[in-house]
């Protein structure tokens, strides 16, 4: 089995493949045995799609290859940044077992920062969560992008 650090490192590699116009967030989905199912980078600008966050793209691709339709039971999603409300909802909808993420996102984070969508006790499926894995490295990737965007 891969360590959580190795999972987030794979997500960092996915982020590095983002279109240069897109905020470099990467996500990777692994099945219960630790096999990689799919990876994606945020592609909102590249696709002109407001829902093309790394997590959503990776979940869609993972469902295509997972073999159990839309249910990603037993899967782990690793992402470089704390998911937003849309992506947190998508994780619950996909029945993802575990979420591991890197940097915290105090402005839009929905897995502990602003909201805690995936661990709401009213939901009957609640993924396990570990945040802050390789946090410094993940945050540095984003800082470098935003610094490069300034005139």
Which residues in this chain contact Zn ion in the complex, by CB under 5 A?
Answer: 53, 84, 86-87
The nearest distance, CB 87 to Zn ion, in angstroms, is: 3
User: d(Cα 37, Cα 139) in Å, to the nearest integer?
Assistant: 25
Chain centroid offset of residue 4 CA: 13
Report in angstroms how near the CB of residue 41 gets to Zn ion at its nearest.
12
Which CB sits closer to Zn ion, 97 or 105?
105
- CA-CA distance, 90 to 60, in Å (whole number)? 10
Closer residue to Zn ion (CB): 2 or 108: 108
By beta-carbon proximity to Zn ion, the closer residue of 49 and 68 is 49
The tokens describing 143, both together, are 């800082």
CA 125 – CA 9 distance, rounded (Å): 27
Q: Is 100 buried (19+), middle (13-18) or exposed (0-12) by CB count in 10 A? A: buried
Least CB distance from residue 67 to Zn ion, whole Å?
25
Given 5, 6, 36, 55, which residue is catalytic? 55
82 is catalytic: no
Residue 54 CB, nearest approach to Zn ion (Å) = 8
β-sheet bridge partners, residue 127: none
Beta carbons of 91 and 100 less than 8 angstroms apart: no
Query: Closer CB to Zn ion, residue 7 or residue 84?
Result: 84
**Catalytic positions, written as ranges:** 55
């Amino acid at each position: 089995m891969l360590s959580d650090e190795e999972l987030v490192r794979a997500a960092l590699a996915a982020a590095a493949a983002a279109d240069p116009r897109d905020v470099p967030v990467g996500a990777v989905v692994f099945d219960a045995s630790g096999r990689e199912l799919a990876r994606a980078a945020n592609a909102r600008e590249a696709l002109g799609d407001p829902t093309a966050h790394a997590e959503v793209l990776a979940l869609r691709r993972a469902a295509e290859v997972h073999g159990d339709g839309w249910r990603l039971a037993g899967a782990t999603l690793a992402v470089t940044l704390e998911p937003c409300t849309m992506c947190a909802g998508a994780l619950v909808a996909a029945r993802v077992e575990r979420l591991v993420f890197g940097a915290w996102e105090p402005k839009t984070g929905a897995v502990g920062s602003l909201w805690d969508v995936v661990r709401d006790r009213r939901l009957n499926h609640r993924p396990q969560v570990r945040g802050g894995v390789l946090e410094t490295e993940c945050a540095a990737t984003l800082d470098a992008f935003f610094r490069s965007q300034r005139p």
